[in-house]
Structure 1
């Protein structure tokens, strides 16, 4: 079997992991690129046994980096979500957890020079147009991975990676509320359709007969819920102007419930055909924005001020995630300026990945 060798860096970013490539080392043609990424991950088998995927949507993600020609950005970050089993690649969404590793990876690749003691990397998420500034710890000009920062969903502690997200509204649909309404009734369910960092369909857990505190295993076993959710998600995709979303991972789906462990709200996030083991960074921004917006399905779950910055704490299946949202409210709703989070990342491996030419 003839194989091609492609340089790669393998990182955990937030609560996801996957290979990071230089975009110039990969095919420009989208169909050829998709075929290559299917081979990289090993899509087509539940364990991704013939690739480096991990048999879960949070471990079948790919980041492709290049020096940016944008006047503001240093790095262009192009994301791909590869399916676990059905050999599909979705280039429409982005991923904020994988983005946590973009700054460190760009420095490791030599695309951005490191400065002592911190390197700020300005990133353009080309899938959605969002701008993100990452603050990476680089004492002595070397990326630091050890530290005292813990994030729920990842064991141990590591060096913090600060992320400040801008221009996140309407990246996929062109609108904060793609249907024009804070609440819609779709397939008999009240939902909020929102596009902040990630287009989402958001509902109250109680409206699906759930508490919102279920474990991942309990949700995964609830096939009736997934069937109902998918019916609503597909109809909402049409209402959001996204067309037929039956084979697309967007819009994602989220459930909200009153907090029970000192957070702002409880939340569960779906990818969309599996339950996220913790919480997506992009999804967290959208859910936090829903909580802060008057008239959405989240109204009444928490008291929030008329202006930020405000820290919204989402209780998820593995713990909590904090989103610091800078916003203001007026008669027309809210204006979002930025959202900030702290994540961690770790370089796990680097070298050459061998990919069958076939």
Structure 2
């Protein structure tokens, strides 16, 4: 497992470890009996990529006891909240008995880990192992978390090696997918059918899945107006579905002529905007590798069965995918890399804000 992973940002909160010289987070209770995130501002929209740096002390652990006066001499975390990467001094971690509230109205109560830097920036971080609590973190889009009580506030520090994350991607029912026989509604495609791909020509679908959800809040689809990204009709996708951006601007800004960006990071409230509705059926297409396919003429990704995508799926879906790719049960990374480099939210903002000559 890597020393860099996705986490959920909970904002600037009271310091849980105001006193150094020990391994106790003395003020951990200050965060309890509070709910972080809401229906109008769900936590799913606050996923950040965190990189940890062990400067000294215990190997593989960010030390809870910061006895040095210089921030650069203590263990560090680097993250980007939208204005560019920053590196801060790690402060403390605490595990809490907490309740995750999902966007579909369901919930899960378990034990979850919170980490802070010395400025109070607070994160819900992945688990060390792929246990039931880690599965809950990725079972459904998270709307909020309520920290009910402290579980453990006395720790050597935060283990750097934690579970990796990515998120399920889906097309809405009715989306027309490019095939050798022409465009076909996604709900009419089955395993064994051929679909046109950007890299390998026609490829066989290994698995096709679907789920019906309440399409509000974090589950509301993103509508891309016709003509915005090469799509001939309006296109509806799930918020985390990644779309292909290409051309000179991608090369200039990111050093690659093609990149993938989550739909929610492209929202401009004009041509790309949330489109809540009562319910929606989302569809997935899985191939032997991550592919770029064509939805209404727009280049977009296929389903990517990473560790989080698998645990995000229900038991029946997991069983179907693992029957096709049994090696993913132990090592989801064996499926291979994403078809293109994936941009983070701040990078997508750079794409939005770029003006030649600025």
Same fold judged by TM-score > 0.5?
no
Rg larger for: 2
The structure with higher relative contact order (CA 8 Å, sep 6+) is 1
